[in-house]
Amino acid sequence: MRKILSITLLIFSVFSCKKDVDDTPNGGLISQLTPEQQVDLQIKNFIWKGLNLYYLWQADVPNLADTRFAPSLIRTNFNNKEYVDFLKKGQAPDKFFYSLLNNYPKIDRFSFITDDYEELERTFAGQVYSSGMDFALSRYGTQGGVLGIVRYVLPDTDAAQKGIKRGDVFTQVDGQALTINNYRQLLFNDKTSMVIDINRIKIVNDKPTIVSENRTVTMAKKSIKENPVHISKVIEKGSHKVGYLMYNSFVADFDLQLNEAFGMFKSKGINDLVLDLRYNGGGRISSAVYLASMITGLSKQNVFAKERWNDKLQPAFKDSDITNYFADKIIKEGVSHPINSLSGLKRIYILTTERTASASELVINGLKPYIEVIQIGGTTTGKNQGSITLYDSPAGYNKKGVNPKHKWAMQPLVLKIVNKDGEGDYTSGITPNHAIEEDWANFGELGQETEPFLAKALELITGINTSGKSIPAQPLMPVKPLADSKTYNFGANEMYK
């Protein structure tokens, strides 16, 4: 946190100038506007200035150029008629924001803005509004149908208490059949409960068939905090002690729980590690550094990743400001916690799908110069950029002194990240060494030796097929990805400082 604060102060000191009295809604060309119009202008002013300074592709967007408005000042003020007229166009703040991005959503796929930064902060802390059922959605049938499948269930939630389990499938919510047109309204809302039908996929006459269990379940939804350290266990196979960790998000609030899992691995003397990131869409860069440090035990003199900011900001940094080194301790609330590391690992087995993104990809790429990374599963998302949260504040866009008249904040991409060798061009995703598709007809139980992804890793480690059967070349019921329970959460595919 101290490093992030120092970067903010450095940027602010380099690029801020004396605040002009007309850079407020109390003077200049906007003094005749209504209070609502003035606030709208303040929001758009914050958006333009923040993107003009921080945005990774600022130089590629003509409307963000330093010379776009005369006089060519970084902090254009409200005396500039051309600038004020530009802000006063009839776009809502979010549409204004997206209009300033670099060919969104083709080149910039991940920058976003919100009108409620408190909700954004809750999400980044691992807090979600849910029944405790994590699910994926796929197109189903030929009439626009949608099928949901449960990937895992969080402990001590209503879904767990109601007996929901991995592999349960559903086609109806609140009595309505899921379709491509209504799934968002039915599943992603603020209702306090939801009713789903319970089905299972079974093989009938060599074909996967959805078989109803003639059961509907009503589950309460509430705000819960998900511990991303979902499974940590040791599997013993002959002379092999294999650690298995399913880690579902890089959330700083759970860094110590992650460290505890590695403490257990260390005490058990594991000699191989399987890291399951197949449902991990990313999160905090610092947590990625901690995870890599736990895996390798490398000293803090070793470079894990390097940041590349825009051409305006890059020269303002010292190398130490934008270089992420391995760590030997975690600092929480002023207390130092030594990192539990697995020194001596020569290789790691990482499980991935197309859902694996950002900070997860950073771990894969950052480890490659140091140990052998054997990737099993699907090609990852392909997000090698990181973001920061910008608030409407005179104090360097952090939350200190934030404008009390609105709650807009933006999360623009501000940096590209590469490993110590300068490698990081994986916008098409990172390709696995051993490709496996998730098969909804053979989903398996997470953490069990027979689960196909883990079984493949154990086979590579031990030379023994632990699943008892070979994985078919083509899945019987391949997934046609549509969305999942985290798709519409803030930061679903984020890597942020």
Beta bridge partner(s), residue 329 = 338
Q: Which tens digit of pLDDT belongs to each residue from 138-164?
A: 998 888 999 999 999 999 999 999 999
pLDDT at residue 12 is higher than 80:
no
CA distance 363 to 367: 6
Q: Which tens digit of pLDDT belongs to each residue from 93-105?
A: 999 999 999 999 9
Spacing of C-alpha 50 from chain mean position:
22
> 428 near 402, Cβ under 8 Å?
no
Helix runs in 20-75, H state only: 35-54
pLDDT at position 467 is 65
Beta bridge partner(s), residue 130 = 222
pLDDT at residue 232 is higher than 60:
yes
Q: How confident is the model at residue 403 (pLDDT cuts 50, 70, 90)?
A: very high
> 313 near 11, Cβ under 8 Å?
yes
Only one residue has tokens 């990805």, namely 481
Beta strands across the sheet bearing 390-391: 112-114, 409-411, 390-391
pLDDT at position 497 is 85
When pLDDT is averaged across residues 51-72 and rounded to a whole number, the result is: 90
pLDDT at position 494 is 77
CB burial class (10 A; 0-12, 13-18, 19+) of residue 463? exposed
Q: Which tens digit of pLDDT belongs to each residue from 238-254?
A: 899 999 999 999 999 99
**pTM metric for this prediction:** 0.93
pLDDT at residue 292 is higher than 50:
yes
**Quick one: residue 214, left, alpha or beta (phi over 0 = left, psi -120 to 50 = alpha)?**
left
Higher pLDDT: 74 or 122? It is 122
pLDDT at residue 44 is higher than 80:
yes
Q: Give me the percent of the chain exceeding a pLDDT of 70.
A: 91
> 266 near 295, Cβ under 8 Å?
no
pLDDT at residue 129 is higher than 50:
yes
Beta bridge partner(s), residue 495 = 283
Task: Provide DSSP, 319-352.
Answer: GGGSEEEP-SEEEETTEEEE----TT--EEEEEE
* Lowest-confidence segment of 16-20, 165-169, 180-184, 488-492 by average pLDDT: 16-20
pLDDT at residue 231 is higher than 70:
yes
| Residue 319 φ/ψ, nearest 5 degrees | -55, -35
Q: Which tens digit of pLDDT belongs to each residue from 202-221?
A: 999 889 999 999 999 999 99
CA distance 292 to 230: 18
Q: How confident is the model at residue 368 (pLDDT cuts 50, 70, 90)?
A: very high
Give the residue from 436, 448, 450, 428 showing the smallest Cα distance to 479: 436
Q: How confident is the model at residue 29 (pLDDT cuts 50, 70, 90)?
A: low
Residue 60, both tokens: 């590629």
Give the residue from 1, 103, 134, 99 showing the smallest Cα distance to 485: 134
pLDDT at position 264 is 98
Q: Is the dihedral of CA 55, 290, 5, 118 positive or negative?
A: positive
The mean of the pLDDT values for the chain is 91
Delineate the domains of the chain, giving CATH numbers in brackets: 35-101 (no CATH), 128-225 (2.30.42.10), 229-385+412-477 (3.90.226.10)
Residue 415, both tokens: 């940096």
